[in-house]
Amino acid sequence: MSSPLSVLVTGASGYIGSCLLDILLDSPHTVYSMVRRPKQFKKSFARKHSIRYGDTNNYKSLVTALKGIDIAFYFIHSLAEGDDFIESEKLSAINFVKAAEENNVKRIVYLGGLFDDSQKLSLHLQSRNAVGDIIRNSSILSITFRASIIIGAGSLSYELIRNLTERLPIMITPKWVRVKAQPISIKDVLRYLSDSILLPIKQKMIFEIGGSDVVSYSDIMQEYAKQRGLYRIILPVPVLSPKISSLWLSLFTPLYAKIGKKLIQSIKSNTIVKNSDKTHDYFSFKTLNISDSIKFALDQEESDFFKSHWASSYSSSNYQDNWIENTEGNKLIYIKKIIFNVPIIDSFFPIQVIGGKNGWYFANWIWYLRGIVDVFLGGPGAIRGRKHSKNLTEGDFLDWWRVVVFNPPFQLRLYAEMKLPGRAWLDFSLKKLTETQTEVYISAIFEPKGLFGRIYWYSLYPIHFFIFTGLLNKIKILAYRVSRE
């Protein structure tokens, strides 16, 4: 095969697919994504590229999506689609392989799960293995990667571990937490996948991939807690079966309970790389250890956060409510939005001059009281004011805040230097709708440290609603005044 090639990434709206797509779009290859809802995906994925509609239950759509494709990445999983997900996954794979053969696709790359073939497999791993068998039994050259836990913000296994560790200072853990695994960083997984496009192979290959450390799930939790500055006590008990512990999981991580149940029930035996020699023969790079993998995940998450612009991420086309509650990694987010019938420049001006002697426009007594409390706690309070009554630059202090993003007339983000059980930001983001209409977002963002940090955050819900509603209305009035001057 010669470069460049036509590459199709299926499951592009999922975690692995979206991460790989972002990397491949910087390669010389012609890259396409395949999703079931192209219009929705176009709004959520920032980078422009060719998006193809494809549904594995619609064979004709697959034939169309795979037309002219050289390399196809298969990342389609039905884990959350009911108890018959095994048959659903098998049928999806059969349809995809048949359509790929019809289009003379040269190579299919599949990411499956690492397992111990001497042990009885869970339904989750049975389905992953069955899909791999279907792909390998086709007439198309294929590469199958088998991985254990993937360490990266967005990976289901990592998010389950993260949520439990963040929320519970004392964890009564079942036997499965002591099962050994060989976790691998998302950074290394993406390198394996991207390198597989031009990998010189003459037969169908299976590669077992993992990081450089073999650790237990408990070890991963402790390492994560260490890097987040959390003290965690893990008490192992022999009585919690995977089935019972999945119910326990639903109490503390309800967002991942349905999928987590299937994942936990698959943790019955060690997932360790047994045949590393073949992988090293074809891939020469060294994978990260567990400490560096978690550090990379946390650093990447922090980097993505500072690039975020809420008016783009939470546009009115995606969210109809005028308030939004969400999480991004460790960060808890409360967003309030309003539409001004004012040009964006005039809408931004009251935000640009907020604070200091100008005050905070609404419920100033609450802001003042919080400043006094902060002084007693050893923080700066509100006594610093602002350097200039109208101008701001990144790095300026603004009462107890620090300006970290100043991008007029689109965004102002402030970092709280007050004493808190975590880290906090206040963000103003604006989106131009028309020449005379602007969508304005105000966001409270909090990264709690431990259980007390979460209690602190949720206790502020009524205050956030009260202040944000009043503050946006006041900014709206001021923006109208500016536009008339």
Predicted confidence (pLDDT) at residue 81 exceeds the cutoff of 60: no
In terms of C-beta density within 10 A (0-12 exposed, 13-18 middle, 19 or more buried), how is residue 430 classed? buried
CATH number at residue 358: 3.30.530.20
Instruction: Locate 361 and state its tokens.
Output: 């426009």
pLDDT reported for residue 311: 56
Please tell me the predicted confidence (pLDDT) of residue 313.
58
Residue 222 falls within a domain, yes or no?
no
Q: Is residue 400 part of a domain?
A: yes
pLDDT at 317: 44
pLDDT in tens, 218-266: 999 999 999 999 999 888 776 655 555 656 666 566 555 556 566 666 6
User: What is the model's pLDDT at position 123?
Assistant: 75
Q: Residue 319 pLDDT more than 60?
A: no
The DSSP secondary-structure symbol of 358 reads G
Domain presence at residue 54: no
The structural domain count of the chain equals: 1
Mean pLDDT of the chain: 87
- Domain presence at residue 339: yes
* Residue 42 binned pLDDT confidence (cut-offs 50, 70, 90): confident
Per cent of the chain over pLDDT 90 is 54
pLDDT of residue 282: 94
Beta bridge partners of 147: 113, 209
In tens, the pLDDT along 149-189 reads 999 988 888 988 888 888 888 887 777 788 899 999 999 99
Residue 456 lies in a domain: yes
Number of CB atoms found within 10 A of residue 347's CB: 29
Q: What is the pLDDT of residue 316?
A: 44
More confident residue, 387 or 119: 387
* pLDDT, mean of residues 401-408: 94
Q: What is the pLDDT of residue 383?
A: 67
**What would the mean pLDDT of 322-342 be, rounded to a whole number?**
86
Is 395 a domain residue? yes
Task: Tell whether 352 is covered by a domain.
Answer: yes
Q: Which domain holds residue 475?
A: 308-484
What's the rounded Cα separation, in Å, for the pair 56 and 323?
A: 35
Q: How many other CB atoms are found less than 10 A from the CB of residue 392?
A: 20
414 Cβ contact partners less than 8 Å away, ≥ 6 residues apart: 398, 401, 402, 403, 404, 425, 426, 427
State the CB neighbour count (10 A cutoff) for residue 320.
7
Residue 203 lies inside a defined structural domain of this protein: no
Q: What is the pLDDT of residue 381?
A: 65
Place of tokens 């890259």: 31
